């Protein structure tokens, strides 16, 4: 069973389009994240949700809109895609609290904007 699964794995689209990436975790974790990994491999946090509430919102263009319908799902919608949005987007989850645990990553969604 995949712990953190995200779809699609690959996404090729034109500039200006709108696209979504979905993420689901079956670990029972209360916190989910979106990270962006660019061509230089840097892992940059974008958003974090705890029990469906937004707790981290980094400096990300408002073309990016996360949605968490429940604590097991965190989706990412991107409007008006730009060339610079090309990257691998990783969903992750963890259980926060007194003993912060491991961050589990999904397999990544490679977005290519042409």
Partner 1 sequence: GENVEQHPSTLSVQEGDSAVIKCTYSDSASNYFPWYKQELGKRPQLIIDIRSNVGEKKDQRIAVTLNKTAKHFSLHITETQPEDSAVYFCAAKEDSWGKFQFGAGTQVVVTP
Residues that bind partner 1 (CB under 8 A): 33, 40-45, 48, 50, 55-56, 90, 94, 96-100, 102-103, 105-108
| C-beta neighbour count of 10 within 10 angstroms | 11
Is beta strand 10-13 parallel, antiparallel or unpaired with respect to 109-113?
A: parallel
Q: C-alpha angle with apex 35: 61 to 66, nearest 5 degrees? A: 55
**Tokens linked to 31:** 């916190």
Closer of 64 and 90 to partner 1 (Cβ): 90
Closer of 16 and 90 to partner 1 (Cβ): 90
Closer of 78 and 92 to partner 1 (Cβ): 92
Q: How far is the CB of 32 from partner 1 (least distance, A)?
A: 12
């Amino acid at each position: 069973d995949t712990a953190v699964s995200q779809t699609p794995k690959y996404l090729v689209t034109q500039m200006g389009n709108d696209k979504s990436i979905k993420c689901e975790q079956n670990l029972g974790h209360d916190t989910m994240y979106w990270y962006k990994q660019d061509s230089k491999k840097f892992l940059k946090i974008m958003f974090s949700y705890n029990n469906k509430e937004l707790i981290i919102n980094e400096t990300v263009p408002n073309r990016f809109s996360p949605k968490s319908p429940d604590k097991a799902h965190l989706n990412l919608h991107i409007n008006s895609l730009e060339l610079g949005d090309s990257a691998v987007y990783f969903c992750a989850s963890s259980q926060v609290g007194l003993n912060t645990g491991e961050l589990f990553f999904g397999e990544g969604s490679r977005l290519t904007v042409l």
